[in-house]
Every structure is written in C-alpha cells, then in structure tokens.
Amino acid sequence: MLVSDAHRFLFVHVQKTGGVTIDGLLRPQLPDARSLDGMTRHARLEQILTAEPGLGDYWIAGVVRNPWARLLSWWSMVERFRDLAEQGAPKAQAFLSGKGFLAVVAREYADFESFVLRGTHERPRLQTPQVAYLTTQARRADFIGRQETFDADVATIVARLGLPPVPQVPRVNASAPRDHRDAYTPHMRDRVAEVFAADVEAFGYSF
C-alpha cells in the first residue's frame, strides 16, 4: 500500500494488477509517501483501516484485473523466476530457495494447470477475490481502476493528486503479453469462475 497524508490518499495494492508500477510512479512525487508498519504491501483495505481507522476518510484507490488473466500473469512470474534460476542467476536461485509465496508455488506446482486447480484450493492468496482487498462492510475504494484500461486509470489517479501528467506509463514487473484464453482448459476456466465469482459479479469480467 501507499499512503500520502498530505494528499489524504491511500492506494491499496492488489497483486498482479500493476501496483508496482503505480507505486514506483507515485512515491518519487509524494515526499511523505509511507506504508504501515508491520503490514505487507498487499494488505487488504480492512486490515489497513483496522490498523489506522483515520485512513477511511482519505481518497482510496486500487486496480483490478480480469481474474483469468491475473492468474496467468502470476504463473508467468513463477516461470520467469524458474528460467532465471536455471540460467544460473544468483538472485533468482536465492529467491526460489526461500519460503516466500512464489518460492513455495515454484516448488509445489509443476505447471499452470496444477497452479489453478490445486493452488486455488490450497493457497489462501489464490482464493481471495480482488474485491475483498478493496472493500469492507462499511467502506469501498473510491476509485477502482482496471488493468485493461491501465494508462487512462493511472492518469485519473495522477490528476486527482494534482501531479504532472505522465506522457507514457512505464511497465514494471510485467509479464510478456499472452492471450489468457489459450492457456485454460474448460475445467480450469470454470474453477477460476467459481473462486472469483465475486470479481466477475462486481466488475463484469468474463472469460
């Protein structure tokens, strides 16, 4: 997450939706940018507001993504680290030997199919709809952008904060473009629809 008290702004970072790009774009322009001690950068809005209730009065923004494309992007990151590790990259090898989420996924799931079909049963992070990151019983993010309209939605956030326009939004930590529909079997497609039904309903996504 990213907080700017001067701008009364809170950005909630949902995994694999462009949050690293947004964070990298905004922090240099927000001298007071901060995170919350003891929380991961992917903390949910409910966790953030429980820790610091006053942030509920700030302008809150986040970004979501087609859930089928999002899971494929997540798996593509795992594959990228695997390839780098096999090529002898020390940082990738050290990363994959650790206990973090991607390291565990890389060790326990041999392919995208097992990542989707088993992972969404076994890993809480892969079971959580994006809307759960951006809503509480009493509060919802004021602006929810979409990865599919990323540049325009980043421009909306930048304009809201009164920052200079960004001629071209850089891409950080992005996977190579792929048509997610080519990567799914019918069973995998239906499993994602089941797990992320709340996102499908809230944001109108379809396969």
Q: Is residue 169 part of a domain?
A: no
Residues 113 and 28 in one domain: no
Per-residue pLDDT of the chain (207 residues; tens, 9 = 90+): 999 999 999 999 999 999 999 999 999 999 999 999 999 999 999 999 999 999 999 999 999 999 999 999 999 988 888 888 888 888 878 877 888 888 888 889 999 999 999 999 999 999 999 999 999 999 999 999 999 999 999 999 999 999 999 877 876 666 667 799 999 999 999 999 999 999 999 999 999
Q: What is the CATH number of the domain that holds 51?
A: 3.40.50
Q: What is the pLDDT of residues 139-149, one digit of tens each?
A: 999 999 999 99
Task: Report how many domains make up the chain.
Answer: 2
Q: Is residue 166 part of a domain?
A: no
Residues 116 and 23 in one domain: no
Taking the complete model, does pTM exceed 0.85, yes or no? yes
Q: What is the pLDDT of residues 172-203, one digit of tens each?
A: 666 667 799 999 999 999 999 999 999 999 99
99: containing domain? 68-127+175-203
Q: Is residue 22 part of a domain?
A: yes
Residues 91 and 192 in one domain: yes
State the amino acid at position 21 in one-letter form. Answer: T
Residues 13 and 40 in one domain: yes
